[in-house]
Amino acid sequence: MIKTIASIFITLGIIFGLAFYENNRVNDTFREFENVLTILYDKTESGDVTYEDGLATEEFWENKKNTLHIWLPHTAILEIDYQLYEAVGYLYVRDYKSALPKIEILLGMCENIPQSYRFSIENVL
């Protein structure tokens, strides 16, 4: 019986530990990425943005996404990749009007993806 109780607590510890770490990790990563994207958005809106700014944002995301693969479905990460590469592509040709909606989509994803991992009835169901 002691063995069973111990196994229950160990399993609960692992699950809650993973859940807590996942929650923090995903939230922190997307919060940081959102900050970087907001700066890029502001610069693009004012016309001060350079292609190098876009590449720096891309590099930031590349570094972060490797660990996110453990926690998020790979399709969600691919969707961000797709939108980001398009936005940076528009920055390269200096088409800022087209880049802005793409960055807005990315900002929306930064808000929505962590929300889909929060404890809420709609997420459970």
Partner 1 sequence: MGLIFIRSIIIFIATLCVMRLMGKRQIGEMQPYELVITLIIADLACIPLADHSIPLLYGLVAILSVYLLHQIICLLDLQFPIAKAVVSGAPSIVVNKNGIDDAELKKNNLDVSDLIESLRTEGIFALDAVEYALYEASGSFSALPKKDYETLQTSLPIVIIDEGKFDEKNVELTDRDLGYYREILKKQGYQLKKTLVMTVDGNGKLYMQQKGEKYRVLDLAWKVPLW
Binding stretches for partner 1 (CB under 8 A): 1, 4-5, 7-8, 11-12, 14-16, 18-19, 22-23, 69-75, 117, 119, 123-124
Q: Report residue 9 as tokens.
A: 């607590």
Taking residue 71's Cβ as centre, other Cβ atoms within 10 Å add up to 16
H helix runs in the chain, sequence order: 2-46, 51-71, 74-92, 96-115, 121-124
| Shortest separation between residue 12's beta carbon and partner 1, angstroms | 6
| Shortest separation between residue 36's beta carbon and partner 1, angstroms | 24
| Shortest separation between residue 77's beta carbon and partner 1, angstroms | 9
